């Protein structure tokens, strides 16, 4: 099932059910553009049989940056630079979505043009930012009236992605970044309509999604959330059951058709696999997930109906021909952090 071509509304024809998960690599060119090397890197994965590629997190505007060497999709030059990537993946008969990313407080003014990063809160993230070897910057809590401007940055980036030829966009709403800073009761300390109750903490995501769905149409939009994950520690949203009870039907009601439930790099069965079992009966759209699953586990998740598409990150990073190796039953090269140093 995993390696069989499929027709999967809303995405259409896919070479396989193998999805390359979004992975930040930090090899953007000067001016935060995508490069020919990046096009080849993604193209090799499409050639090998990956059905759908989710790009590395791509910054929607400098105010949402937080990392070294990451690509943007904000200006005409940055948008144009992505065309070579999309064309190369399409030449390999793959589909490709742009992952739209705003880091929120997981940043520092070093990355945001000297302005404090924005967030749901004005409390800084704990811990050390390895990107600039400093503590995370003190964020500025967005004013209630500023939300439409932030949605506007996402909308502009999404339109840019469509004009670059992407098959769709994935809104990054997980892993402790901006949208998750609204979801997560441990971070969101607001007293306005965007904080407090479950409905209020979901408001930012839902208002944003409604606009993107209206702009692009439902067949072009996926969302990534991570209600249970590893990010320095293993944890679930504090009120994960209430959140899922509210959020999943709300996403579906807005017309979302593709949901990616991530656990960052935790054990799938302890984290997102658990969430997927909880939401599957209530979610009729395409569900994707995974984290370093074995081929047998992936096949089982598909045949049990928990997943429609299986995501892999590090296996695909380590093996440009991962999908071909799966097809042929060949062993895969284990991921080694040293591989992060080049774009193979």
Ligand X SMILES: Cc1cc2nc3c(=O)[nH]c(=O)nc-3n(C[C@H](O)[C@H](O)[C@H](O)COP(=O)(O)O)c2cc1C
**Contact region with ligand X (CB under 6 A), list: 142-150, 208-216, 237-245, 308-316:** 308-316
Contact 94, 81 (CB under 8 A): no
Let me know if 235 is a catalytic residue.
no
Distance (Å, whole) CA 36 – CA 27: 11
Q: In the complex, what is the shortest distance from the CB of residue 112 to ligand X, in angstroms, rounded to a whole number?
A: 17
Shortest distance in whole angstroms from residue 105 CB to ligand X: 17
Enumerate the β-bridge partners of residue 265: 263
Decide if 206 contacts 254 (C-beta within 8 A): yes
- What sign for the dihedral angle of Cα 146, 206, 151, 52? positive
Q: Specify the residue, 47 or 56, whose C-beta has the smaller distance to ligand X.
A: 56
Q: Of 169-228, which residues contact ligand X (CB under 6 A)? A: 172, 175, 224
Stretch that binds ligand X, among 16-24, 74-82, 161-169, 213-221 (CB under 6 A): 16-24
Task: Pick one of 147, 153, 248, 291: the residue that binds ligand X (CB under 6 A).
Answer: 291
- Stretch near ligand X under the rule CB under 6 A, chosen from 78-86, 108-116, 134-142, 310-318: 310-318
d(CA 171, CA 217): 14
Could you tell me if 258 and 221 are in contact, meaning their C-beta atoms sit under 8 angstroms apart? yes
313 binds ligand X (CB under 6 A): yes
Spatial distance between the Cα atoms of 90 and 48, rounded to a whole number of angstroms: 13
Closest CA to 289 of 77, 278, 151: 278
312 near ligand X, rule: CB under 6 A: yes
Region 249-278 residues binding ligand X, contact defined as CB under 6 A? 262, 264-265
As measured in angstroms, the least distance from the Cβ of 316 to ligand X is: 8
# residues near ligand X by CB under 6 A: 20
Do 27 and 110 form a contact (C-beta atoms < 8 A)?
Answer: no
Among 23, 206, 240, 339, binds ligand X (CB under 6 A): 23
Q: Is the peptide bond before 207 cis (omega within 30 degrees of 0)?
A: no
Measured from the CB atom, is 192 or 267 closer to ligand X? 267
Work out whether 163 is an interface residue with ligand X (CB under 6 A).
Answer: no
Q: Which of 177, 194, 235, 268 is catalytic?
A: 177
67 in contact with ligand X (CB under 6 A): no
Binder among 21, 161, 307, 310 for ligand X (CB under 6 A): 21
Degrees, nearest 5: CA angle 16-263-311: 10
Nearest by Cα to 182 from 156, 220, 157, 150 = 150
Residue of 74, 314, 320, 322 that binds ligand X (CB under 6 A): 314
Least Å from the CB of residue 313 to ligand X: 3
321: left (phi over 0), alpha (psi -120 to 50) or beta: alpha
- Indicate the residue among 106 and 279 with the shorter CB distance to ligand X: 106
- Find the shortest distance in angstroms from Cβ 266 to ligand X: 8
Among 2, 11, 22, 309, binds ligand X (CB under 6 A): 22
Nearer to ligand X, 174 or 285 (CB): 174
State the DSSP code for 44: H
Omega prior to 10 cis, within 30 of 0: yes
- Check if the beta carbon of residue 5 is closer than 8 Å to that of residue 39: no
By CB under 6 A, is residue 229 in contact with ligand X? no
Cβ proximity to ligand X: between 103 and 279 the closer is 103
By C-alpha distance, which of 15, 196, 157 is closest to 94?
A: 15
The distance of Cα 23 from the centroid of its chain, to the nearest Å, equals 8
Q: Which residues contact residue 217 at a Cβ distance below 8 angstroms, ignoring those fewer than 6 apart?
A: none
What amino acid positions are annotated as catalytic residues?
177
Per CB under 6 A, residues contacting ligand X are 21-24, 56-57, 99, 172, 175, 224, 262, 264-265, 291-292, 312-315, 340
């Amino acid at each position: 099932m995993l390696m069989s071509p499929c027709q999967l509304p809303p995405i259409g024809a896919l070479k396989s059910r193998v999805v390359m998960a979004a992975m930040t690599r930090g090899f953007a060119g000067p001016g935060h553009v995508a490069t020919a090397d990046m096009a080849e890197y993604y193209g090799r994965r499409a050639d090998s049989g990956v059905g759908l590629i989710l790009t590395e997190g791509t910054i929607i505007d400098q105010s949402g940056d937080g990392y070294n060497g990451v690509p943007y999709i904000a200006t005409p030059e940055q948008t144009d630079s992505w065309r070579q990537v999309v064309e190369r993946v399409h030449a390999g008969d793959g589909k490709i979505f742009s992952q739209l990313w705003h880091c929120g407080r997981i940043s520092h003014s070093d990355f945001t043009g000297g302005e404090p990063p924005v967030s749901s809160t004005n409390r800084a993230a704990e811990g050390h930012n390895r990107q600039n070897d400093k503590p995370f910057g003190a964020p500025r809590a967005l004013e209630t009236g500023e939300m439409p401007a932030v949605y506007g940055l996402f909308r502009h980036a999404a339109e840019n992605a469509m004009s670059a030829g992407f098959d769709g966009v994935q809104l990054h709403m997980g892993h402790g970044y901006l949208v998750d800073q609204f979801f997560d009761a441990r971070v969101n300390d607001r007293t306005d309509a965007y904080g407090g109750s479950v409905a209020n903490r979901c408001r930012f995501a839902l208002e944003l999604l409604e606009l993107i769905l209206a702009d692009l149409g439902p067949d072009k939009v996926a969302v990534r959330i991570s209600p249970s994950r590893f990010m320095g520690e293993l944890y679930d949203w504090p009120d994960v059951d209430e959140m899922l009870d509210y959020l999943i039907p709300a996403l579906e009601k807005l017309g979302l058709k593709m949901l990616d439930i991530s656990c960052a790099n935790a054990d799938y069965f302890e984290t997102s696999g658990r969430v997927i079992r909880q939401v599957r009966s209530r979610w009729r759209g395409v569900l994707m997930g995974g984290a370093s699953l074995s081929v047998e586990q992936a096949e089982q998740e598909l045949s049990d109906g928990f997943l429609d598409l299986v995501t892999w990150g590090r296996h695909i990073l380590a093996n440009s021909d991962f999908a071909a190796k799966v097809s042929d039953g060949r062993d895969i090269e284990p991921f080694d952090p040293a591989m992060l140093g080049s774009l193979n």
